Amino acid sequence: MIRAIAFDLFDTLVDQNHDRLRPVDVEGRKVGATTPALHAHAVERAGLTLGLLEFADVLGEVDRALRSDTIDQGIELATLDRFVALATRLGLDDIMPLAQGWTEVHMGVLYEAVTIPAHHEAVLTSLAMDYPLALCSNFTHAPTARVVLSDAGFDAHLGPVVISEEIGIRKPRGEIFAAVYEALGVAPDEVLHVGDNLEADVAGAAAIGMKTVWLTRRVRDPEAALARFDGPSPDFALEDLLDLPVLAARLSV
């Protein structure tokens, strides 16, 4: 019997419009969507003399060096820590203020790429009448995730909000899911986890004993994605959250 529901955030509760975050062309090369703004901030605030493409190269080197010890191990790499490492690598002064400024610039671009499906607040309102609701999200800057929740009006319906940047662990590792069901005060097999990512959401939640719903509304080719996936099949697949209240009711009888 399902007693609680946990949700992923991006491309589940809200849409992260990746077309707005595509790499941009600079002198025939592609650089990250936020890289020009990060470079401009460093030029203005720290007197950086390095050109944009050279800056992009250093940022890539820093990211690759950090990733092997963090994300590749299921450990979150906070945006602020990433930019502290970048400022250190560039030999810049006033590292912390600069890293905080970069964080604001970077997250500002990501925030502007988020849109909120109009019907999701009503779905959460309906579900919250019968179930405790929680969030389980991978994200590198928890304050931005919480602003997204607040602006969408979702925080009023959610109990535990577990974000990887705060807990230090990323999905699909079991510790982040354990933090959710422990905060809810239920057993893992009493939680229905809803998310769009087969590896992070379906495999991660299933490994710890949760029931899983794969949300395919933002998945380009669900059949192809499922064919490529070698993990456990989702318990349920839904095209839209509108169908979730009926499914949850069925599982609660």
Q: Which amino acid is at 119?
A: H
Per residue in 71-105, pLDDT (tens digit) is: 999 999 999 999 999 999 999 999 999 999 999 99
The reported pLDDT for the residue numbered 14 is 98
Helices (H), 129-173: 142-152, 164-167
The reported pLDDT for the residue numbered 252 is 87
- Token duo for residue 248: 């949850």
214 within 8 A of 197, measured Cβ to Cβ: no
The reported pLDDT for the residue numbered 109 is 96
Per residue in 162-197, pLDDT (tens digit) is: 999 999 999 999 999 999 999 999 999 999 999 999
Report residue 227's pLDDT band, with 50, 70 and 90 as the boundaries.
very high
Chain mean pLDDT for the chain:
97
SS (H, E, C) 180-241: HHHHHCCCHHHEEEEECCHHHHHHHHHHCCCEEEEECCCCCCHHHHHHHCCCCCCCEEECCH
The reported pLDDT for the residue numbered 21 is 94
